[in-house]
């Protein structure tokens, strides 16, 4: 994955995330999600969030893609996704405020939607209901197919249909797992 020339000129670069990035990942996760955790889950409790996000970080190290985003060699965000045999999921995009809306979000979404089309796999993700980034996902063709108390569940399919009865939606994915089990 190579950044576009306009992002490189702005000072951005990508590097693989590694074990040394855990503390910065938790800091950026706090910056990006504390307000949602406070709103939907009764508050950011530091000890609990460190445990949850340390576990999440170690899982992401095994994903198909887990990158740190740097601006002039300072880590300003992370993104990740995991390509599985029948879908692309575990979508994560964390950016600090100064670098939001500078083109990284669009670069990332173009990359994963292009990958989805190339490998013929749908993308599934969730976003906090009050997170304005959901509008950007919708601009890239993601559609809400379900919701929880705190999240909208979105999908992107290469044929631009998001009928929840089609074979790749999350409910039938769960059914396929249960039937195989």
- How do the domains of the chain map onto residue ranges? 5-180
Locate 84 and state its tokens. 């599985």
Helical H runs in the chain?
5-9, 22-41, 46-60, 104-119, 133-139, 170-180
Q: Distance between CA atoms of 38 and 56, rounded to whole angstroms? A: 19
Closest listed residue to residue 66, CA positions, set 52, 48, 80 = 80
Q: Return the pLDDT at 180.
A: 40
SS3 content of the chain, % helix, strand, coil (to 5): 45, 25, 30
Structure confidence by residue, pLDDT tens digits, 16-58: 999 999 999 999 999 999 999 999 999 999 999 999 999 999 9
Locate 26 and state its tokens. 């938790």
Instruction: Show Cβ contacts of residue 178 under 8 Å, excluding neighbours closer than 6 positions.
Output: none
Q: Return the pLDDT at 177.
A: 39
Cβ neighbours of 55 (radius 10 Å): 10
Q: Return the pLDDT at 164.
A: 38
Closest listed residue to residue 153, CA positions, set 59, 65, 94, 87 = 87
Distance of CA 115 to the CA centre of its chain: 14
Q: Distance between CA atoms of 53 and 30, rounded to whole angstroms? A: 10
Q: Are 70 and 15 in contact (CB under 8 A)?
A: yes
Q: Return the pLDDT at 94.
A: 95
Q: Distance between CA atoms of 51 and 19, rounded to whole angstroms? A: 15
Residue with tokens 């503390």: 23
Q: Return the pLDDT at 49.
A: 95
Closest listed residue to residue 25, CA positions, set 62, 64, 63, 52 = 52
Locate 123 and state its tokens. 């993308």
pLDDT, the chain, mean: 87
Residues of the chain short of pLDDT 70, as ranges, are 158-181
Query: 5-180 has which fold?
Result: Aminopeptidase (3.40.630)
């Amino acid at each position: 994955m190579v950044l576009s020339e306009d992002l490189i000129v702005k000072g951005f670069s990508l590097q693989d995330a590694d074990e040394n990035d855990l503390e910065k990942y938790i800091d950026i996760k706090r910056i990006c999600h504390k307000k949602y955790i406070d709103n939907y889950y009764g508050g950011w409790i530091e000890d609990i969030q460190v445990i949850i996000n340390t576990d999440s970080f170690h899982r992401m190290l095994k994903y198909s893609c887990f990158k740190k985003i740097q601006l002039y060699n300072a880590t300003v965000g992370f993104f990740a996704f995991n390509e599985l045999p029948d879908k692309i999921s575990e979508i994560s995009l964390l950016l600090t405020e100064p670098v939001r809306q500078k083109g990284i979000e669009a670069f990332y979404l173009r990359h994963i939607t292009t990958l989805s089309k190339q490998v013929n796999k749908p993308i599934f993700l969730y976003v906090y209901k009050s997170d304005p980034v959901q509008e950007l996902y919708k601009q890239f063709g993601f559609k809400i197919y379900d919701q929880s108390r705190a999240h909208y569940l979105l999908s992107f399919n290469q044929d631009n249909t998001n009928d929840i009865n089609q074979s790749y939606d999350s409910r039938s994915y769960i059914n396929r797992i249960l039937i195989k089990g």
